Chains A and B, each alone.
Chain A
Amino acid sequence: MAKSDSTNLPTVDRRTFLQVTALAGGGLLVGLSFPDVLAQRGGGPGSGAALLPDIYITIHPDNTFTIIAKNPETGQGVKTALPMIIADELDVDWSQVKVRQADLDPKYGSQIEGGSRAIPSNYQNMRLVGAGGRLLMVSAAAAMWNVPASELTTGSGLVKHAGSGRTATYGSLASRAASVPVPDQAAITAGLKNPKDFKIIGKRTRGVDVKDIVTGRPVFSIDVAPPNMLYAAFEKCSAFRGKVVSANLDEIKKMPGIRHAFIVEPAGQGNNAAVSGVAIVADSWWIANDARRSLKITWDEGAIASQSSVGYTAQAKDLAAKNASAPPPPPPAGGGRGGGGGAAIGDAEAAFKSAAKVIEAEYFFPFLSHAPLEPQNATAHFKDGKLEIWSPSQIPSLQHPAAGAGIAPENVTMHLVRSGGGFGRRLVSDYDTEIGSIARKVTDERAAQGLPSVPVKLLWTREDDMGHDQYRPSGYHFFKAALDGAGKLVAFRDYVPSTQSVVPANEFPRGFCENVWVISTAVTPFDVPTGALRAPPTNGISFVMQGFVDEIAIAAGKDPLQYRIDLLNSPAGGGPTGGFNPARARGVLEAVRDMSTWNRRGQLPKGTGMGVAFQFAHAGYVAYIVEAAVDANKAVKINRVWCAVDIGRQIVNPSQAENLVHGGFVEGMSHIMNWEITIDRGGAVQRNFNQYQPTRMAQVPTDFQVKFLQTDFDPTGLGEPSLPPAVPAITNAIFAANGDRIRTLPIGKLGYRWA
């Protein structure tokens, strides 16, 4: 049969790998074209897409440097980390660097914040950009001084010739560098620094926006304020995807300060769609939002109005009862989403019948809202058939605002703006679709009145944000485990009535037990919008799996930490799949044991206990040990935390990496104690922080040790892996302290509170 020929794939001309452009006045632009970047563009290989220079470095005549931060910043630190990599290889001082956020542009390839992918996807390319720039400077100096390049060294933005004592700044060499031969990819790769020579990578570096943030300067999306801007508030049905039948728009339009009021029709697709609602546009956001209280809207709530958390739970328990024993595994069926499929390895039922001990447990975790401090918002200006938008999206896309505005994506210009927390909520950009629709309507109405177009800012309230989230799915897990006479795990069963919650195929202890039965049946109807929350899906799965594994270890009469290591040492049932490396999981468990007082936990006072948990998530391995004290009134105090992390051989910014671990743990504390979204009449019950209380500063543990294992693996990200095992490490510590096995979250409903 005819096949496409790999030799027809577009290849990058080696001489165009590095892109160099001279600037008027003596500066230089340095960029990169790279097959991976090309592959991530719209057409990918074979599309015939033109190569474009990707400008990352501007070398200024005064020997300062502007470096582009390509990815969205949501607090994870990538706006600092990626330029650090370039600056180090370029061999300039960090103090000489200014960082500028890129707009959304295909020339940068993938520009997303999600999946903890920024470092693994960009580490090597950013190094090549910097090293390419450095080699250009060396070549320019060699030509100018007529000496071999091998006699030259660099540092602090200077090229130095030890033999003659001459030095030249990169800025002074910029014009000459524009005309020297451009190094090819092989030469740049060969010229990469030895990591032991890194001067910026691996050093604690303050975030580039930190000073502006702590001094209140406008750095967030919510701060965007182009001239003549109007403000929009948007009223949506409390039942998800309910539709407007009618509204008292004429009354609203007559209110002081109100410029526009109109019904927004649904636009776009999936969770990125704008849903039906009423937009009110005013001179100030407060006027627009206050006017919502005067709205009289008739809604068509739709069939979802009959759905509730109570109903989902009842159905889950009914499904579990009907499937109390393992039926034959269902025939494999492709394409199932959120509720189908499973795994049947070995013969779990036979193992249960012959087991020395069988334990069962029911676990539950609730829906969660992402609750970023900055509610959803976006600002846009529709003018002359084109839309300019400022968006805090984690996956910025021209498609969504274009769909809202009813124009082609190529007529959209998007500026990426730092967001006040993402946590996965801004992977979905329904607010971009909404503002596209609202901005166009405002411009159209103003044009009809003979008025010029103006920008419009859409800002959701906290209640809008919590009530119209893409929620972390809730999870019901009905476990059963069998042990042999020696306490070895011989069968593992997890029945999952699914509300879009999924269990990864490589989730421990699967791969380390001969007989495994994991299967899911969908709870239906189920129409709650769900999505990714930091570390999906293990942010919930880790709690149930590491909790039940702890129960298994206790039932076996074993040390819970050593029991996990023993399992990891004995692959079974086909062994682990995907990217799960048991040696690395074992490594973080051993490290956290050795750095903590785990082996002396028997000496702890009554009411104090230690819990352990580990998780493989998003290519990273994290293990926690937590020491917690619980008093008779169920007040919990986390005394000490130890954490071991394996995300490969290089931590780019240790300061930010520690922050991500601390933040993941503290967010996990919120998951445990108070966070829960319940559904009633097809909508969210909890709508603000008084009903959804995050962890407070006074509750955060102050004795918190973090160790990064430097293993010989490629660097990976840390935004997500730090969260999931924090939850079961704490709940396992509570069990160790008072004997109460936590199987349902949040524990605030069980009478617990932070001390």
Chain B
Amino acid sequence: MIVRTTVLACALLLSQRAGEPASAAKTLLSHDFSTSPQGWLIAGDTSDVAADFKPAGGNPGGYISHVDEALGETWYFRAPATVLAELAAAQHGALSFDLKQSSTDAGFPDDDVVIVGAAGRLSYRFDRAPGTAWTSFSVPLSASAGWRWNWNQVPTEEQMRQVLAAPTRLDIRGEFRTGDDTGGLDNFQLTSGNRTR
């Protein structure tokens, strides 16, 4: 398996929260799945398996996907160690990605992004689900963005820092409906948090 991690040049990150100043940030890591799954797994359905690599149909180019075990639990795209290694630098930056699903008719709420470490569990829920076309999502890695710590607590920045400093996994939800379905992930990106205040 070829794992290709691209460290890109500085980019401008526009803060996701209204009223906050634009800040200079750099892209820490970007996975566009152009030639491989880049080490991503599928977790939480019935077993941990490699994500299916699709050379075309992404946004654009390649992407990764998984066919749901209809009787399993909610499944997630699980990030490789190369992603976990960059999370500490991403605090106050942002995590973004594109998702699509094969059908949108039987949705249910669940944690959309989960980051787990010895220091605790961070989770985030977006207010919408992906469509059958590629849908972009982005969330700042800041306590004020609406993250939850250890399931239902509001995190402090220090708790965020401790989890991001030593993460053991980062999961992005791929299943959004009851019944069998297929989900896809593309354009995962982490940006740094060098905010100017």
The contact of B73 among A395, A506, A574, A575, by CB within 8 Å, is A506
Does A696 belong to the interface (CB within 8 Å)? no
- For the complex, give the distance between the alpha carbons of A568 and B98 in Å: 35
Interface status of B136 (Cβ within 8 A of chain A): yes
Nearest A residue (CB) for B61: A1
- Write the B56-78 contact mask toward A (1 if CB under 8 angstroms, else 0): 00011100011101111110100
Is the pair B50, A504 in contact by a Cβ cutoff of 8 Å? no
* Contacting residue for A36 out of B71, B74, B106, B128, CB 8 A: B128
Nearest chain-A residue to B138 (Cβ)?
A6
Contacts of B28 in A (CB 8 A): none
Contact A520 B47 (CB under 8 A): yes
Among B106, B130, B134, contact of A114 (Cβ-Cβ < 8 Å) = B106
Tell me which residues across on chain A come within 8 A of B132, comparing CB atoms: 42-44, 47
User: In the complex, how many residues of chain B place their beta carbon closer than 8 angstroms to a beta carbon of chain A?
Assistant: 59
A-contact bits for B102-118, CB 8 A (1 contact / 0 none): 00111111110000100
Determine the chain B residues whose CB is within 8 A of the CB of A637 once the complex forms: none
| A40 near B47: Cβ-Cβ < 8 Å | no
- Check A320 for interface membership: any CB of B closer than 8 A: no
B48 lies within 8 A of A115 (CB): no
Nearest B residue to A2 by beta-carbon distance? B60
State whether B42 touches A334 (Cβ < 8 A): yes
Q: Is the CB of A117 within 8 A of B108?
A: yes
Taken together as a complex, chains A and B put the C-alpha atoms of A42 and B132 apart, in Å, by 8
Determine the distance from Cα of A40 to Cα of B105 in the docked complex, in whole angstroms: 5
Q: Does B131 contact A (CB under 8 A)?
A: yes
B residues within 8 A CB of A39?
Answer: 104, 107, 128-131
Please name all residues of chain B whose beta carbon is closer than 8 Å to the beta carbon of A3 when the two chains form the complex: 59, 98, 136, 187
Among B32, B171, B178, B187: residue with most chain A CB under 10 A = B178
Closest to B110 in A: A579
Residues of B within 8 A of A336 (CB): 47, 49
What per-residue 1/0 map shows which CB atoms of B65-100 lie under 8 Å from chain A? 111011111101000000000000000000000100
B55 within 8 A of A: no
CB <8 Å contact, B128 and A504: no
* Whole-angstrom distance between the Cβ of A111 and the nearest chain B Cβ: 8
Per-position binary interface string of chain A over residues 32-50, scored 1 when its CB falls under 8 Å from any chain B CB and 0 otherwise: 0001100111111111000
For B49, B51, B110, the residue with the greatest tally of chain A CB atoms inside 10 Å of its CB is: B49
Number of A-B contacts (CB under 8 A): 183
Closest to B125 in A: A714
Q: For residue A727, give the distance in angstroms from its CB to the closest CB of chain B.
A: 17
- The docked-state distance in angstroms from the alpha carbon of A342 to that of B152 is 30
Asked if B168 CB lies within 8 Å of chain A CBs, one says yes
Q: Inside 8 A of A343's CB, which chain B residues have their CB?
A: 47-48
- In the complex, the answer to whether B152 meets A713 with C-beta atoms within 8 Å is yes
Residue A341 contacts which of B48, B129, B131 (CB distance < 8 angstroms)?
A: B48
Residues of chain A lying within 8 A (CB to CB) of residue B179 = 114, 395, 427
Q: Assess the B116–A536 pair: CB atoms within 8 A.
A: no
Taking CB atoms, residues of chain A closer than 8 Å to B131 are: 39, 43-47
Q: A36-B129, A343-B48, A504-B72 are in contact. Are A41 and B67 (CB under 8 A)?
A: no
| A579-B51 CB under 8 A given contacts A39-B104, A43-B131 | no
Tell me whether A359 is interfacial, beta carbon within 8 Å. Answer: no
Q: Which residues on B sit within 8 Å (CB–CB) of A588? A: none
Output the least CB separation between B123 and chain A (Å). Answer: 9
Which residues 115-152 of B sit at the A interface, judged by CB distance below 8 A? Answer: 116, 127-138, 151-152
A532/B130 in contact, CB under 8 A: no
Whether B47 pairs with A47 at a CB distance below 8 angstroms is: no
Closest residue of B by beta carbon distance from A44: B131
- Within 8 Å of chain A (Cβ to Cβ): is B181? no
CB B76 to nearest CB in A, in angstroms, measures: 7
Name A1-19 residues within 8 Å CB distance of B. 1-6, 9
Residues facing B in A362-378 (CB within 8 A) are: none
Asked if A298 is at the interface of the complex by the 8 Å CB criterion, the answer is: no
Tell yes or no: A340 within 8 A of B by CB: yes
**Is the pair A334, B50 in contact by a Cβ cutoff of 8 Å?**
yes
Check if B165 is an interface residue, CB within 8 A of chain A: no
Per-residue A-contact encoding for B156-194, CB less than 8 Å = 1, 0 else = 000000000000110100000111000000010000000
Residue in B closest to A117 when the chains form the complex, CB atoms: B108
Residues of A within 8 A of B130 (CB): 39, 44-45
State whether A536 touches B71 (Cβ < 8 A). yes
Report the minimal beta-carbon distance from A274 to chain B, rounded to whole angstroms. Answer: 19
Closest to B118 in A: A575
Q: Is residue B41 within 8 Å, beta carbon to beta carbon, of the partner chain? A: yes
B71 A4 Cβ-Cβ under 8 A: no
Give, as a whole number of angstroms, the nearest-CB distance from B166 to chain A.
13
The residues of A that contact B128 with a CB separation of less than 8 Å are 9, 35-36, 39, 45
* Per-position binary interface string of chain A over residues 503-531, scored 1 when its CB falls under 8 Å from any chain B CB and 0 otherwise: 11110000000000010100000000000
Given contacts A39-B104, A337-B69, A712-B152, contact A45 B135 (CB under 8 A): yes
- The A-contacting residues of B in range 32-55, CB under 8 angstroms, are 32, 41-53
Whether A338 pairs with B32 at a CB distance below 8 angstroms is no
Query: Interface 1/0s, chain A 97-130, versus B by CB < 8 A?
Result: 0000000000001101011010011000000000
Q: Once the chains bind, are A579 and B74 in contact (CB under 8 Å)?
A: yes
Q: Write the nearest CB–CB distance from B100 to chain A, whole angstroms.
A: 9
A112 to chain B, nearest CB (A): 5
Contact partners of B48 in chain A: CB under 8 A: 332, 341, 343, 505
Residues of A within 8 Å of B51, CB to CB, are 334
Chain B residues whose CB sits within 8 angstroms of the CB of A714 once the complex forms: 109
| A179 within 8 Å of B (CB atoms) | no
Answer whether residue A335 sits at the interface, using C-beta atoms and an 8 A cutoff.
yes
Contact yes or no, B168 A574, CB < 8 A? yes
Q: Across the interface, do B106 and A395 meet the contact criterion of CB distance under 8 Å?
A: yes
Residue-wise, chain A 405-442 has the 8 Å CB interface mask toward B (1 for contact) of 00000000000000000000001000000000000000
Q: Does A577 contact B (CB under 8 A)?
A: yes
B106, A42: Cβ atoms closer than 8 Å: no
Contact (A578, B135) CB under 8 Å given A3-B187, A332-B41? no
A340-B50 Cα distance, complex, nearest whole Å: 12
- The answer to whether A40 touches B107 (Cβ under 8 A) is yes
Bitwise interface map of B from 11 to 42 toward A, beta carbon under 8 Å scored 1, else 0:
00000000000000000000010000000011
Q: A4-B59, A112-B178, A536-B71 are in contact. Are A506 and B135 (CB under 8 A)?
A: no
Residues on A with beta carbons closer than 8 Å to the beta carbon of B76: 578
CB neighbours of A332 from chain B (8 A): 41, 48-50
Find chain B residues with CB under 8 A from A395 CB.
105-106, 178-179
Distance of A515 from chain B, by nearest CB (Å): 16
Asked, given contacts A40-B104, A47-B133, A114-B178, whether A713 binds B151 with beta carbons under 8 Å apart, the answer is: yes
Docked CA distance A39–B110 (Å): 15
Q: How far is the CB of A428 from chain B (nearest CB, A)?
A: 10
User: Measured between alpha carbons, how far is A534 from B72 in the docked complex, in Å?
Assistant: 13
A104 → chain B, closest Cβ, in Å? 10
C-alpha spacing A537/B105, complex, angstroms: 22
Pick from B106, B133, B151, B171: contact of A581, CB under 8 Å: B151
Q: How many angstroms from the CA of A44 to the CA of B51 in the assembled complex?
A: 24
Chain A residues with Cβ under 8 A from B73's Cβ? 504-506, 578-579
Q: Does A502 contact B (CB under 8 A)?
A: yes
Contact indicator B98/A502 (Cβ below 8 Å): no
Contact with B along A344-368 (1 / 0, CB 8 A): 0000000000000000000000000
Whose C-beta in chain A lies nearest to the C-beta of B41? A332
Q: Which 5 A-B pairs have the closest CB atoms?
A: A44-B131, A341-B47, A115-B178, A334-B52, A332-B50
19 contacts between A and B (CB under 8 A): A1-B32, A1-B60, A4-B59, A4-B134, A6-B135, A39-B130, A39-B131, A40-B105, A46-B135, A109-B107, A110-B105, A332-B50, A335-B66, A337-B67, A340-B47, A504-B73, A505-B73, A578-B44, A712-B152
20 more contacts with CB within 8 A, not counting A9-B128, A333-B50, A712-B152, are: A3-B98, A4-B59, A6-B137, A39-B128, A43-B131, A47-B132, A332-B41, A332-B50, A334-B49, A335-B52, A502-B69, A504-B73, A505-B72, A520-B47, A536-B71, A537-B71, A575-B168, A578-B74, A619-B110, A713-B151
